[in-house]
Chain A
Amino acid sequence: MNGLFLVARREVLVRGRTKGYLISMLISAAAVVVLAFLPKLLGGPDEYKVGVAGTDTAVISQALTSVKPSSPSLTGDAQATVKITEFPDEAAARAAVADGEIDAAVVNGDTLITDGGVSSELSLIIDTAYKQVASSKALAAANLPPDQVSQALASVPDIRQESVGEDAEEAGARQAIASIVVIFLFFMLMYPVMFVAMGVIEEKSSRIVEILLSTLRPWQLLGGKIIGLGILGLINVLVIAAAGLAAASASGVMPDLPPGTISTVVATLGWWMLGYAFFAALAGALGSLVSRQEDSNSTITPLTMLMIACYLVALFTAGTPKSTLAVTLSYVPPFSAMMMPMRSATGSVEWWEQVLSALILAAAVVGALALGARIYRRAVWRMGSRVKLMEALKG
């Protein structure tokens, strides 16, 4: 047991202090932060600049600033605001639009000047304001007192919205989150799993394994490596998850995230651990087959292919989480390590489905560890040319 601890500690201390590890952690954390701010950056301004000129500028300004765009969106601008600039005449307003100084201008309360059109949100705001002003004008023209008119209009509530299908906007957000979960899982698994393979090959190719095995059991050496690199991977995952959640709340995206996002993040951690244990056991076994770094590609490639296959299938089914393919594969290890968290992020699974899939994957992990340890034990001290997998299995 002590040997296991010592090996794991060495991995954490030596690998964790390398520039490569620290830099990759910083880069991935930065990428997640950018990702969290991206919708805000791409989602257009929170503030629209609208110019007014000609007649009716006061009423139209008042109406424009009081309109609230009804449905909040993922873009984070739940409360878009409108900044009004008054221009002396129509020509000045047109020039300002052409210069891009303002997004649009309303002239004489009935003409919208744009530079090739405006976003649907701004269009909605202006249209609403225009209709408000126009209808109160029409009502006033019909001799109704202005304050009664505005009272009547103000008392009209927004239309009540009910959906017979899914909230399309939320479904889009969920698919985006599911894709992010899959991408995140893939990279977070790939790094430490490759480190396990490389570490095993390093020990074998540098022949240090001969000294190690005179004082450690093979399972301690492999297990310690998997645990140590797993701890580093877990730290990486936690840092990135924390950075992502912090950035999401700082950027104001948080309230737009569908309910259950936090539990998705937590469950993803669990899936990461199971997936890592599975792939790392195989990586250690395959790594032990070769004695030279140059041979590492040939032996590791099948594993990388498998991981990429899981990744691509999960990514491409993120849009159709209820398809037979997606549902079936979410129970099949190792696909389930990415498919189930993907489905869970789209909000289309029951808790018992997750538990069942996790149990199946956990059983596969036990199998992979047993198989990996067996291959490793037999192959790790056979120097020279690449050990054939079948030979290692038979011993």
Chain B
Amino acid sequence: MMEIDGLRKSYGEKVALDGVTFTVGSGEMFGFVGANGAGKTTTMRIAMGVLEPDAGEVRFDGHRLGFADRRRFGYMPEERGLYPKMKIAEQIAYFGELHGLATAKARKSAADWLERLGLADRAGDHVQDLSLGNQQRVQLAVALVHEPEVLILDEPFSGLDPIAVDTMADVLAERNAAGVPVLFSSHQLELVERICDAVGIIADGRMVAVGSVGELRRKEGRRFLKVAVEDAPTGWADALPGKVVGNDDGALLIETDDDQAVLAGAVKAGRVTHFGWQEPTLVEIFREAVA
């Protein structure tokens, strides 16, 4: 379990983090979302010890997160970094060794990851000769080579084609299923919604919402009844409890506390072809939370 507690960080006048607090539970897939400049990268850098916070701390399993813990973390920085003129298999193995693997084990693990990520035939190539997407796969392999106990990935999906996005999501889900907590930032909200157990929304250096997608829906999102009635007279819903907030291709979107009354009214108005709650998407929750 990783607890981010009250992080503050300023760059000169600019307050980048203003008391950021959230928890990534063990075995949890945590999606970290926020507009550009909201403070995601700063938070993750502090968690990785690359940056010192002005105040606050990061705890891991109850103690202050230290250098020895972080060596067992896997990290993908926002600004990708690899040695341009080093062979990729050697490079991945090197990072494995830096994280404490024995030489032979590091080589084996590097080869396995290259195989898994479809780069086995490029093992001897220099990083600078790979496409950006492939460089990103190597970057992922670097983060994973030492079987990390925690993954911290800053926008791992940005710049990937749809196939690579799927591979990345599969790999993360697999590590997560193996009990590894994953904290990653992303702008791809549909994806976050699909694969994350928990989501944290940050705006201007403050957490505006944290919880599971379900919790956020209940807490943050407005949900609507979507009702379609064939041949209903216009304005059939006007007298019902609640408010018509929209029209989705003939179906009305109604915000209400009394779904049964709306249903009864709809049945009276004509043949009901659709009736159900429309849950807010993460995109909608996000828009409301940061508004």
Residues of A within 8 A of B (CB): 3, 6, 10, 13-14, 18, 202-203, 206-217, 381, 383
In order of increasing CB-CB distance, the 7 nearest A-B pairs are A208-B81, A207-B81, A207-B79, A210-B77, A215-B98, A214-B48, A206-B81
For B85, the chain A residues whose CB sits under 8 A away are 14, 18
The answer to whether the Cβ of B142 comes within 8 Å of any Cβ in the partner chain is yes
Q: Would you call B70 and A215 a contact (CB within 8 A)? A: yes
A interface SS class:
helix
For B86, the chain A residues whose CB sits under 8 A away are 10, 14
- Which residue of chain B has its CB nearest to the CB of A213? B50
The answer to whether the Cβ of B73 comes within 8 Å of any Cβ in the partner chain is yes
- Which residue of chain B has its CB nearest to the CB of A217? B67
The answer to whether the Cβ of B94 comes within 8 Å of any Cβ in the partner chain is yes
Q: A290 to nearest B CB, angstroms?
A: 15
CA distance A381 to B77 in the complex (A): 13
- Which residue of chain B has its CB nearest to the CB of A220? B98
The answer to whether the Cβ of B187 comes within 8 Å of any Cβ in the partner chain is no
For B271, the chain A residues whose CB sits under 8 A away are none
Q: Would you call A214 and B81 a contact (CB within 8 A)? A: no
Instruction: Find the residue from B71, B79, B86, B98 having the highest chain A CB count within 10 A.
Output: B98
Residue from the list B51, B70, B84 in contact with A381, Cβ < 8 A: B51
CA distance A211 to B99 in the complex (A): 10
The answer to whether the Cβ of B28 comes within 8 Å of any Cβ in the partner chain is no
The answer to whether the Cβ of B204 comes within 8 Å of any Cβ in the partner chain is no
Q: B14 to nearest A CB, angstroms?
A: 13
For B51, the chain A residues whose CB sits under 8 A away are 381
CA distance A215 to B70 in the complex (A): 7
Would you give 18 A-B contacts (Cβ < 8 Å), ordered by A?
Answer: A3-B98, A14-B85, A18-B85, A202-B83, A206-B81, A206-B84, A207-B79, A208-B83, A210-B45, A210-B50, A211-B77, A211-B142, A212-B98, A213-B50, A214-B48, A215-B95, A216-B98, A217-B67
The answer to whether the Cβ of B75 comes within 8 Å of any Cβ in the partner chain is yes
8 Å CB interface, B57-75 against A? 67, 70-71, 73, 75
Q: A387 to nearest B CB, angstroms?
A: 14
Q: Would you call B82 and A208 a contact (CB within 8 A)? A: yes
For A3, the chain B residues whose CB sits under 8 A away are 98
Q: Would you call A214 and B49 a contact (CB within 8 A)? A: yes
The answer to whether the Cβ of B97 comes within 8 Å of any Cβ in the partner chain is yes
For A18, the chain B residues whose CB sits under 8 A away are 85
